[in-house]
Homo-oligomer: A and B are copies of this chain.
Amino acid sequence: MKKDIPYKIYLDETELPQSWLNLRAFMKQKPAPLLNPDTLQPVTKEELSHVFCEELVDQELDETSKFIPIPDEVRNFYKMYRPSPLVRAYCLEKALGTPAHIYYKFEGNNTSGSHKLNSAIAQAYYAKKQGLKGVTTETGAGQWGTALSMACSYFGLDCKVFMVKVSYEQKPFRREVMRTYGADVTPSPSTTTAIGRKILEEFPGTNGSLGCAISEAVEAATSREGYRYVLGSVLNQVLLHQSVIGLETKTALEKYDVTPDIIIGCAGGGSNLGGLIAPFMADQLEGKANYRFIAVEPASCPSLTRGKYAYDFCDTGRVCPLAKMYTLGSSFIPSPNHAGGLRYHGMTTTLSELHAQGLLEARAVEQTKVFEAAEYFARVEGILPAPESSHAIRAAIDEALKCKESGEKKTIVFGLTGTGYFDMMSYEKFHDGKMSDYIPTDEDLQVSLSKLPKV
Give A residues with C-beta under 8 Å from B.
6-8, 10, 12-13, 77, 79-81, 91, 109-111, 113, 150, 153-154, 172-173, 176-177, 179-182, 375, 378-384, 419, 421-422, 424-425, 427-428, 431
Contacts and interface: CB of A to CB of B under 8 A. Distances in A.
Contacts of A379: 153-154, 180-182
A179 B375 CA distance: 10
Given A176-B425, A182-B379, 12 more contacts: A80-B91, A80-B382, A111-B378, A111-B383, A172-B424, A176-B427, A176-B428, A179-B428, A180-B378, A180-B431, A181-B379, A421-B421
A194 B7 CA distance: 45
Nearest to A385: B111
A341 B421 CA distance: 19
The complex is assembled from copies of this chain, and their number is 2
A154 B6 contact: no
Given A80-B382, A182-B379, A10 B10 contact: yes
Contact of A79 (B8, B13, B153): B8
A378 B91 CA distance: 33
A424 B384 CA distance: 18
Nearest to A151: B382
A427 B382 contact: no
Nearest to A106: B109
A419 to B, nearest CB: 7
A338 to B, nearest CB: 19
Given A13-B6, A172-B428, A173-B424, A111 B382 contact: yes
Identify the 3 closest CB pairs spanning chains A and B, nearest first. Answer: A173-B424, A176-B424, A7-B79
B80 A427 contact: no
